[in-house]
Amino acid sequence: MKIVDHLLNGLNYQLIPARCACCQGPGQWRLDLCTACQAELPPAPSVLETSHGRVYAGSTFAAPLDSWIHAFKFHQDLTIGRLLAKLCAPGAHADLPEWLVPVPLHRKRLRMRGFNQALELARYWGRQHGIRVSKNALIRCRETAVQSQLDAQARLQNVQGAFSARAGLPAHVALVDDVYTTGATCAAAAEALQQAGVERVDVWCLARVL
């Protein structure tokens, strides 16, 4: 979606002035949040070590980010999207990967939702760090149930074998997703990438559920 990409790249602050997403007062320079509300945000969690790589999250999953992520993902609220991408940038302390790989949606869900929030985040962060974004490295080869309605064990089974990766990938990539909960989706995606020869698969996400 061209328009989302354009809106997320920051140019549109001339069109939509920064306004605080919490209190509706004036925002900061190119940030839709005032300093007082920013001070109240949940802290960034520590880096999580997994068997496939490290998980970097910009924030802990808690209010008000939970509702902002919902607005971005399901209602394509692009002002909130650009705020989240900026505020919860996970790459600041990361050992930078060669590519960013957004967690893909199945094509049917992509058609229903209209855009993939993970791809938009990857484009934003890729531009910020000068990292290539590969939208075709992974595909979701079968439909899966919505993870948020399942318990941890069911989540693992739901996404098992749901991804396949293409050949010719670099040794170190980072998956991009909005929220990291049990890690089941990222583990299944990482497994497909590792089978295709990737050695290390980090995760960059907006928020992690603690």
Nearest Cα neighbor of 95 from 174, 170, 169, 168 is 174
Which of 42/170 has CB closer to Zn ion? 42
Nearest 5°: the CA angle 182, 121, 35 is 95
Nearest 5°: the CA angle 38, 209, 187 is 130
Write down the least CB distance from residue 130 to Zn ion, Å: 32
Interactions with Zn ion, residue window 10-69 (CB under 5 A): 20, 22-23, 34, 37
Write down the least CB distance from residue 144 to Zn ion, Å: 38
Which of 20/203 has CB closer to Zn ion? 20
Beta-carbon contacts of residue 14 (< 8 Å; ≥ 6 apart): none
Residue 87: other Cβ atoms inside 10 A: 18
Write down the least CB distance from residue 83 to Zn ion, Å: 11
Write down the least CB distance from residue 40 to Zn ion, Å: 9
Which of 39/146 has CB closer to Zn ion? 39
DSSP 8-state secondary structure symbol assigned to residue 171? S
Which of 65/105 has CB closer to Zn ion? 65
Answer whether 57's CB lies under 8 Å from 50's CB.
Answer: no
Report how many residues bind Zn ion under the rule CB under 5 A.
5
Q: Point out which residues bind Zn ion (CB under 5 A).
A: 20, 22-23, 34, 37
